Structure 1
Amino acid sequence: MITREATEQDLEILLEFEQGIVSAERPFNTTLIDGEIHYYDLNHFIQSPDAILIVAEENNEIIGSGYALIKKAEKYYYKFEKYAYLGFMYTKPEYRGKGLNKVITDELISWAKSRNISEVRLDVYAENESAVKAYEKAGFEPHLLTMRLKP
């Protein structure tokens, strides 16, 4: 398996991955609209100097993805000025449970460190136990829980 930066030629499969993420998240969020949803500006992640979108390949098949995006922190809140936000973490179902998410996460964290970023964050549904465990294995800790009420 290899990892590399995504290119525009990868967009077709990456758009399929995006819908896979949406499908996986629907059980955790009943407020999502029906039909196709596009969470991500994949072209931006490919082209921006403040972002990286990587893919994992095996036998010339793209099997996983993830991005890191450098964001500005609210200066009056935090001790750091910028942080890396991770997202678009997807592994094809037949490759899950083999550590691919950690490989991608580690590479994204290394990219952030190479840009002197010392804070890395991501969002995950609290009920998504397998994802939470995967991120905890990668060294992440729970930080903030968003709660909602549907009156």
Structure 2
Amino acid sequence: MITREATEQDLKILLEFEQGIVTAEKPFNSTLIDGEIHYYDLRHFIKSPDATLIVVEDKDEIVASGYALIRETEKDYYNFKTYAYLGFMFVKPEYRGKGINKIITDELVNWAKSRNISEIRLDVYAQNESAIKAYEKAGFEPLLLTMRLKE
């Protein structure tokens, strides 16, 4: 397996991955609308100097993806000004459980470190236990849980 930066030629499969993420997340979030949802501006991540969108290939087939995006903090009380936000973590179902998520997160963390960014964040649904375990294996720890009330 190899990792590489995504190109615009990869957009078709990446858009399929995006819908796979949406489908997987709908059971965790009753506020998502029905129908097709687009979370990401994938073309922007491919072109931006402040982002990297990577894919993992196995025998010339894209089997996984993830991105890192440099963001500026909106809070003046943090001890960092910028951080890397990770997202679009998707591994094809038949490739899950093989350490590919760790390969992706390691690659994205190394990209952030190469830009002198030490604060790295991502979001995961509190009920998504398998994803939480995968991120904890990669060294992440819980920080904040968003609560909601629907009346």
Q: TM-score range by the shorter chain?
A: over 0.9
Deviation at 1:76, TM superposition (A): 1.2
TM-score, normalised relative to structure 2: 0.99
Instruction: Quote the residue 2:85 is aligned against.
Output: 85
RMSD (CA atoms)? 0.6
Tell whether 2:21 aligns with 1:21. yes
2:121 and 2:44 map into 1 onto residues whose CA distance is: 19
**Percentage of pairs with the same residue:** 79
Residue-by-residue CA offset, 1:15-73 (whole Å, 9 max, x unaligned): 00000000000000011000100000000000000000000000000000000000001
Residue-by-residue CA offset, 1:71-112 (whole Å, 9 max, x unaligned): 001351210110000000000000000000000000000000
SS at match of 2:141: coil
Q: Which runs of 5+ in 1 are unaligned?
A: none
Deviation at 1:148, TM superposition (A): 0.3
> AA paired with 2:126?
A
1:79 and 1:148 map into 2 onto residues whose CA distance is: 28
Tell whether 2:46 aligns with 1:10. no
* Residues 1-150 of structure 1 aligned to structure 2 (within 5 Å): 1-150=1-150
1:9 and 1:45 map into 2 onto residues whose CA distance is: 14
State how many pairs are aligned: 151
TM-score, normalised relative to structure 1: 0.99
1:59 and 1:143 map into 2 onto residues whose CA distance is: 37
Deviation at 1:136, TM superposition (A): 0.3
Question: Runs of at least 4 residues of structure 1 off by over 4 A?
Answer: none
